Amino acid sequence: MHNNFIPRVPWRNDRDLKTLVENRTTYTLNDCELNIFETHEVAENINLSFGDLVLTTMLKGKKVMHLFDKPGFDYLPGESVIVPPNEVMKIDFPEAQMDNPTQCIALSISPEMIENTFNLLNERLPNRELTKEWGLDLSYFHLINTQDLSEIINRFIKIGVKERSKEKDLIASFALKELLIRLTQTQAREMLEMTYKTQAGSNRLAFVVDFIKDNIRENLNLEVLSEKANMSKAHFSRTFKIELGLSPMEFVLNERLKLAKQYLQLGDYQIQEVCFMSGFNNSTYFIRAFKNEFGVTPKVFQNVR
């Protein structure tokens, strides 16, 4: 299993189903509401909206989501969508069946929690490199889950569904703050992926990302990258991690693995060739890192692509 997927929660018993389309189970907490939706039959043009901002995450199956009067897009496990208050989601379920339901969560978050969290971040961690201040950017509403984002969403599901202690709301409050931080970091990475070329001349992190992508086969280390950013190693590492949610060298590894995946999909190269073409200098490490990220060895991935 890809490590950015979130395990589904147990299905509702057939006798408990109130409807076969968007059957809803709700867990209410002080600052949020966790909804688990299951759909057990093919359906089209199902409308759904919430009064607060919502983070939705696909757990199993497939939806076609229509938002902001734009063309529909496939919505799959390993992905999340941020929806502003009162925005209508128009949803199709092209594959849902009784024995293979579609499952999704929707976490509605109070505006007070969002405002308080970002006010605290802007007070404690100002002077951001990529954006002027902490907050959510709804231009980047359809996200591929990072590992950190998947982990905190999964933890929050467990808090909502299984936690029974008196401290449940307090635990959920801490988890919500982390979730909002991970969301902004995931958005920052999406934004950087789309704009690093155009921003490279004016933004230090974009310049470094552009350099990494252009020199992925070279010996990239923290000293080289911090010099390119014109920062000390400590300041560069801290800034990169805070804004993007992973260290510079983790980012380099991710870029090399993405490149390796592309080469393997072409099917024309030996594993050893892919290893060196993607910037790895040790095939044993490459195979281990690839399996850790994608759940299978490079050879298996190449054979079943």
| 61 within 8 A of 102, measured Cβ to Cβ | yes
Architecture of domain 200-305: Orthogonal Bundle (1.10)
Please give the pLDDT value at position 11. 59
Q: Measured between alpha carbons, how far is residue 295 from residues 6, 267, 305 in Å?
A: 14, 19, 13
Q: For a pLDDT cut of 70, what percent of the chain falls above it?
A: 94
- What are the phi and psi torsion angles at 20 (to 5°)? -90, -10
Please give the pLDDT value at position 210. 97
Instruction: List, as own/partner pairs, every contact residues 271-277 make where C-beta atoms lie below 8 angstroms and the sequence separation is at least 24, other chains included.
Output: 271/298, 271/299, 271/302, 274/298, 276/217, 277/217
- Cβ contacts of residue 176 below 8 Å, gap of 6+? 31, 32, 109, 113, 117, 156
| 101 within 8 A of 61, measured Cβ to Cβ | yes
Spatial separation of the C-alpha atoms in residues 176 and 95, rounded to whole Å:
32
Please give the pLDDT value at position 15. 57
| 192 within 8 A of 251, measured Cβ to Cβ | no
Spatial separation of the C-alpha atoms in residues 174 and 199, rounded to whole Å:
34
At 213, list the tokens.
């992508």
- Count the neighbouring beta carbons within 10 Å of the beta carbon of residue 54: 23
At 121-156, the pLDDT tens digits run: 999 999 899 988 999 999 999 999 988 999 999 999
Of residues 267 and 27, more confidence is placed in 27
Spatial separation of the C-alpha atoms in residues 288 and 295, rounded to whole Å:
10
In the structure, what pLDDT confidence band is assigned to residue 1 with cuts at 50, 70 and 90? very low
In the structure, what pLDDT confidence band is assigned to residue 279 with cuts at 50, 70 and 90? very high
The angle formed by the CA atoms of residues 197, 84 and 205, to the nearest 5 degrees, is 20
| 249 within 8 A of 224, measured Cβ to Cβ | no
CATH 1.10.10.60 residue ranges for the chain: 200-305
What dotted CATH number matches 1-195? 2.60.120.280
Instruction: List, as own/partner pairs, every contact residues 253-258 make where C-beta atoms lie below 8 angstroms and the sequence separation is at least 24, other chains included.
Output: 253/289, 254/293, 255/212, 255/213, 255/216, 255/279, 256/216, 256/280, 257/289, 257/290, 257/293, 257/294
Q: Looking at residues 18-39, what average pLDDT do you find?
A: 89
Do the strands 53-60 and 43-48 form a parallel or antiparallel pair, or are they unpaired?
unpaired
In the structure, what pLDDT confidence band is assigned to residue 91 with cuts at 50, 70 and 90? very high
Q: Looking at residues 81-102, what average pLDDT do you find?
A: 94
CATH 2.60.120.280 residue ranges for the chain: 1-195
- Count the neighbouring beta carbons within 10 Å of the beta carbon of residue 223: 10
Do the strands 23-28 and 32-39 form a parallel or antiparallel pair, or are they unpaired?
antiparallel
Q: Which of 184, 186, 68, 178 is nearest to 136 (CA)?
A: 184
β-pair partners for 53: 109
